[in-house]
């Protein structure tokens, strides 16, 4: 039957390593002790199901072939057998216990919350992740870096299409890392298959997950809980590095931060701010307000021809810095640095024919941010 053919094809695919790349059909064993335990569990249950299936479907197929009227089969008239019925209630029960034992053991291992060597707060936002390294002065956002043209089929798609970000989460290899998950708006779910970690990020609550990755490398995942329009466009990239490389990265991050605050004290021309502002706007705001500034009626307001853009700037600055509670408009105070905020506000006030001529300076914003 077609079913058996398909089963064999499936088997062939699982067993041949070359098929792994494109026609991947199975879970990946992953790179943590937990992920390998989950993989083994998955395979165990899978084979048990296959075995039960072979027996049940086998008997059914046998009857279909042999007990058909066209072959002259006469119907017997048994329709009850207490012993058989008791057996096929009890036997599955024991099979289930056989599955429950390893499942419980794995679950208990996952829930073993010992002290971690590094704590990272992970916050979901519509549609990006924020990683705050507790105890280190490191706090950044991580969003999709696949160019828009690739998504719109205007240019060739890259190797890691939709699974690449501007700032990956960097963690050291072999160390226990604890993730404290929460959300700024709706529920998201932080999932990296290679680590077998999937935990919901829920507004107002903190969830805990942990991982110890045993091999350096780059592991990719995605948000797994429907979180609105761009749910499909908020990937996760974890860059696992050796202890030294991780230390190096920490130092670089701190240096970059110092440079950014220097830039805030410089003088910026309108042209420079507009150029920077366009880049920030398209990266950060356009998902909702659209590249054209026209928004999406009924969901996200238009900024083009919006009276707020030509009125006195303080109201505009206030919305962007502090957001609007209870709406999708987030507070950008901590998401963007002073230069980026000044640039994006200046850009909005002068783009799409808003032409207010206003220039909002980074220095102005720095003062408000304190």
Partner 1 sequence: MGTLEQTVETEEHHGPARGITRWLYTTNHKDIGTMYLWFSLIMFLLGGCMALSIRAELFQPGLQLMAPNFFNQMTTMHGLIMVFGAVMPAFVGLANWMVPLMIGAPDMALPRMNNWSFWILPFAFSMMVSTLFMEGGAPNFGWTFYAPLSTTYAPPSVTFFIFAVHMMGISSIMGAINIIATILNLRAPGMTMMKLPLFVWTWLITAFLLIAVMPVLAGVVTMMLMDIHFGTSFFNAAGGGDPVLFQHVFWFFGHPEVYIMILPAFGIVSQIIPTFARKKLFGYASMVYATASIAFLSFIVWAHHMFTVGMPLAGELFFMFSTMLIAVPTGVKVFNWVATMFRGSMTFETPMLFALAFVVLFTIGGFSGLMLAIAPADFQYHDTYFVVAHFHYVLVPGAVFSIMAGVYYWLPKWTGNMYHEGMGKLHFWLSFIGVNITFFPMHFVGLAGMPRRIPDYALQFADFNAVASVGAFIFGLSQLLLVYNVIQCIRVKRHTTAQVWEGAEGLEWTVPSPAPYHTFAQPPLVK
Q: In the range 77-116, which residues lie near ligand HEC by CB under 6 A?
A: none
In 3D space, the residue among 54, 52, 34 whose CA is nearest the CA of residue 42 turns out to be 34
Considering the rule CB under 6 A, would residue 344 count as an interface residue with ligand HEC? yes
Contact call for residue 114 and partner 1 (CB under 8 A): no
Report, in Å, the least distance between residue 293 CB and Cu ion.
25
Binders of Cu ion among residues 174 to 203 (CB under 5 A) are: 188
Is residue 207 within 8 Å of 219, Cβ to Cβ? no
CB of 353 to partner 1, least distance (A): 24
Measured in whole angstroms, the distance separating CA 164 from the mean position of its chain's CA atoms is 11
Residue 218's SS3 state is strand
Contact between 188 and ligand HEC (CB under 6 A)? no
Closest CA to 338 of 255, 268, 288, 254: 268
Q: Tell me if 75 contacts partner 1 by CB under 8 A.
A: yes
Q: How far is the CB of 289 from ligand HEC (least distance, A)?
A: 6
Contacts with 369 (C-beta within 8 Å, 6 or more apart), sequence order: 321, 333, 338, 341
Q: Is 4 in the site for partner 1 (CB under 8 A)?
A: no
Q: Which of these, 10, 1, 91, lies nearest to 46 by C-alpha position? A: 10
Separation between Cα atoms, residue 111 and residue 142, nearest integer Å: 27
Q: Is 200 in the site for ligand HEC (CB under 6 A)?
A: no
Q: Which of 328, 331, 359, 363 binds ligand HEC (CB under 6 A)?
A: 328
Minimum Å gap between C-beta 127 and Cu ion is: 7
Listed in sequence order, the residues at least 6 apart from 150 whose beta carbon sits closer than 8 Å to its beta carbon are 156, 157, 158, 161
How far is Cα 41 from Cα 140, in angstroms, rounded to an integer? 36
Rounded Cα–Cα distance for residues 216 and 225 (Å): 27
Q: Which residue is nearest to ligand HEC (CB)?
A: 285
Q: Distances in Å between the alpha carbon of 232 and those of 19, 225, 284?
A: 26, 10, 16
Residues 211-230 that bind Cu ion (CB under 5 A): 223, 227
Tell me how far, at minimum, the Cβ of 50 lies from ligand HEC, in Å: 45
Among 132, 176, 231, 333, which residue sits at the site for Cu ion (rule: CB under 5 A)? 231
* Number of residues binding to ligand HEC, judged by CB under 6 A: 21
From the CB of 353, what's the least distance to ligand HEC, in Å?
16
* Candidate list 4, 8, 11, 52; residue touching partner 1; CB under 8 A: 52
DSSP letters spanning 72-136: TPPPP-----HHHHHHHHHHHHHHHHHHHHHHHHHHHHHT-----SEEEEEEEETTEEEEEETTT
Among the listed residues 203, 243, 248, 292, the single contact to partner 1 using CB under 8 A: 203
| Tokens linked to 145 | 């870096």
Which listed residue (74, 267, 357, 370) binds partner 1 by CB under 8 A?
74
Give the nearer residue to partner 1 in terms of CB position, either 75 or 251. Answer: 75
Non-local (6+) Cβ contacts of 29 within 8 A are 35, 36, 39
Q: Is 225 in the site for partner 1 (CB under 8 A)?
A: yes
Shortest Å, Cβ 364 to Cu ion: 35
Instruction: Give the contact letters, 247-286, x = binds to partner 1 (CB under 8 A), - = no.
Output: ----------------------------------------
Q: Which residues contact Cu ion by CB under 5 A?
A: 188, 223, 227, 231
Q: Which residues contact ligand HEC by CB under 6 A?
A: 126, 284-285, 287-289, 300-301, 303, 306, 308, 316, 319-320, 324, 327-329, 332, 344, 348
């Amino acid at each position: 039957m077609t079913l058996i053919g398909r089963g064999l094809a499936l088997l062939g695919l699982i067993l041949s390593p070359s098929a792994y790349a494109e026609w991947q059909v199975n879970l990946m064993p992953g790179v943590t002790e937990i992920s390998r335990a989950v993989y083994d569990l998955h395979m165990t249950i899978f084979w048990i199901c296959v075995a039960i299936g072979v027996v049940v479907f086998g008997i059914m197929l046998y009857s279909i072939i042999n007990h058909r009227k066209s072959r002259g089969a006469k119907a017997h008239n048994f329709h009850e057998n207490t012993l058989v019925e008791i057996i096929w209630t009890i036997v599955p029960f024991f099979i289930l216990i056989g599955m429950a034992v390893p499942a419980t053991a794995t679950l208990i291992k996952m829930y073993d919350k010992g002290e971690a060597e590094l704590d990272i707060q992970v916050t979901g936002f519509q549609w990006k992740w924020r990683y705050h390294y507790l105890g280190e002065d490191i706090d950044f956002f991580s969003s999709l870096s696949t160019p828009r043209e690739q998504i719109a089929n205007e240019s060739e798609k890259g190797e890691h299409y939709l699974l690449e970000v501007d700032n990956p989460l960097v963690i050291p290899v072999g160390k226990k890392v604890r993730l404290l998950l929460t959300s700024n708006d709706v529920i998201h779910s932080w999932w990296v298959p290679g680590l077998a970690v999937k935990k919901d990020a829920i507004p107002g609550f903190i969830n805990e997950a942990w991982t110890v990755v045993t091999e350096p490398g780059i592991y990719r995942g995605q948000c797994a809980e429907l979180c609105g329009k761009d749910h499909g466009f908020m990937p996760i990239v974890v860059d696992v590095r050796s202890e030294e490389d991780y230390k190096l990265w920490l130092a670089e991050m701190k240096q970059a931060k110092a440079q950014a605050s220097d830039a805030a004290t410089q003088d910026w021309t309108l042209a420079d701010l507009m150029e920077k502002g366009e880049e920030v706007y398209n990266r950060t705001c356009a998902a909702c307000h659209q590249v054209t500034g026209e928004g999406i009626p009924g969901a996200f307001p238009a900024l083009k021809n919006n009276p707020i853009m030509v009125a006195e700037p303080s109201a505009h600055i206030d919305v962007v810095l502090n957001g609007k509670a209870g709406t999708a408009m987030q507070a950008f105070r901590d998401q963007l640095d002073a230069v980026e905020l000044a640039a994006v506000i200046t850009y909005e006030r002068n783009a799409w024919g808003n032409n207010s001529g206003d220039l909002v300076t980074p220095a102005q914003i720095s003062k408000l941010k304190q």
